[in-house]
Amino acid sequence: MFARGTRIEENRALRRYGMGWLVEHVGATLGATFESGRDAQQSAAQSAQQTARDTQRKTAEETARVIETTAPKNGSIPIADYDEKTVGEITSRLDALSDEQLRRVKDYERRTKNRETLLQQIERRIQRAS
């Protein structure tokens, strides 16, 4: 209450204003402290909620991007725009595919471009999955 005051100043204030003033002053100080703490708590909660919403939004956007780049557009190949992708681009997506999807990619690759290095990598992943 009298953070910088001395004991003498505290006693003078008590005599001058009385015990009622002291109780009111302490009460007001505690009330202000409580309000400040409550405001800080609400602010922290709002910040945490906003962070959670931002994280959910970013996760949803990333998931949508992954689905968009790996989902089949023609229903048969589980990698979108397969025919336009390089061996490296296709290889980077193979680990996310199931055994059945790998077999479909392998069959399609054999029927179309028949790139031996890619066929070998697909076969290795099929063997690992089995």
- Residue 10 pLDDT level (bands cut at 50, 70, 90): low
DSSP 78-103: SSTTGGGS-HHHHHHHHTTS-HHHHH
Q: Tokens representing 22?
A: 């002291």
80-124, pLDDT tens digit by residue?
889 999 999 999 999 999 898 999 999 999 999 999 999 999 999
Full-prediction pTM beyond 0.85?
no
- Gap between the Cα atoms of 128 and 130, Å rounded: 6
- Give residue 22's pLDDT: 64
Residue spans per domain, the chain: 1-70, 72-130
Task: Fill in the amino acid letter for 4.
Answer: R
